[in-house]
């Protein structure tokens, strides 16, 4: 009877572990695909930031249409990311967190508290609460 109970318990533990692994695979199975798409989102953001705002006028309809198309594409890709549990981390002014941020440099900044993020070089992303890509940041140090 004791062997039977142990075998039953082992079978139940195996079933639960397998079920947990399947659920994690469903959640994080898109991780590699998401990482690849992050580069596309970064390029779209750089493209929209590189356009001088004073050039986007009715006098220049081709640039205006191109710029609006880039902005709409960028907004749509962020919506798709959010729909699938991929959240953007833009930590400017936040306390440095080594689990979400990667410090590229330390710099003294007047009027800022040491240990906070002074500059965001590249935004980070989280997939269902797990850091997919840490934000690349510059951190304030004491003067």
Distance, in Å, from the CA atom of 50 to the CA atom of 43, rounded to the nearest integer, reads: 10
| Residue pLDDT, tens place only, 86-118 | 999 999 999 999 999 999 999 998 888 999 999
Among 107, 102, 121, residue whose Cα is nearest residue 49: 121
Distance, in Å, from the CA atom of 122 to the CA atom of 137, rounded to the nearest integer, reads: 7
Say yes or no to pLDDT of 26 above 90. Answer: no
Q: Are 112 and 85 in contact (CB under 8 A)?
A: no
User: How far apart, in Å, are the Cα atoms of 23 and each of 18, 19, 89?
Assistant: 9, 6, 25
Lowest mean pLDDT among 43-47, 57-61, 87-91: 57-61
The pLDDT assigned to 24 comes to 87
Specify whether 108 is located in the same domain as 124.
Answer: yes
User: What would the mean pLDDT of 13-27 be, rounded to a whole number?
Assistant: 93
Specify whether 126 is located in the same domain as 76.
Answer: no
Specify whether 90 is located in the same domain as 53.
Answer: no
Specify whether 76 is located in the same domain as 53.
Answer: yes
Q: Which of 84, 109, 129 is the last residue of a domain?
A: 84
Which spans in 52-129 are helix H?
Answer: 61-83
Whichever domain contains 20, its CATH number is: 3.90.20
Q: How many domains, the chain?
A: 2
Say yes or no to pLDDT of 80 above 80. Answer: yes
Specify whether 6 is located in the same domain as 53.
Answer: yes
Whichever domain contains 131, its CATH number is: 2.30.22.10
Phi, psi at 109, each rounded to 5° = -135, 125
Distance, in Å, from the CA atom of 89 to the CA atom of 134, rounded to the nearest integer, reads: 8
Q: Which domain holds residue 107?
A: 86-142
Task: Read off the tokens for 142.
Answer: 């004491």
Distance, in Å, from the CA atom of 118 to the CA atom of 131, rounded to the nearest integer, reads: 20
Say yes or no to pLDDT of 143 above 80. Answer: no
Specify whether 76 is located in the same domain as 103.
Answer: no
Specify whether 71 is located in the same domain as 133.
Answer: no
Say yes or no to pLDDT of 3 above 80. Answer: yes
């Amino acid at each position: 009877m004791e062997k039977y109970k142990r075998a039953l318990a082992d079978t139940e533990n195996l079933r639960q572990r397998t079920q947990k692994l399947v659920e994690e695979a469903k959640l994080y199975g898109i991780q590699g695909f998401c990482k690849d798409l992050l580069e596309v989102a970064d390029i779209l953001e750089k493209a929209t930031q590189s356009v001088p705002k004073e050039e986007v006028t009715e006098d220049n309809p081709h640039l205006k249409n191109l710029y609006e198309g880039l902005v709409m594409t960028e907004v749509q890709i962020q919506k798709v990311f959010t729909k699938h549990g991929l959240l953007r981390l833009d930590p400017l002014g936040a306390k440095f967190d080594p689990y979400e941020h990667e410090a590229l440099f330390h710099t003294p900044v007047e009027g800022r508290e040491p240990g906070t993020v002074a500059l965001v070089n590249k935004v980070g992303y989280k997939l269902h609460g797990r850091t997919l890509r840490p934000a690349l940041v510059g951190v304030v140090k004491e003067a």
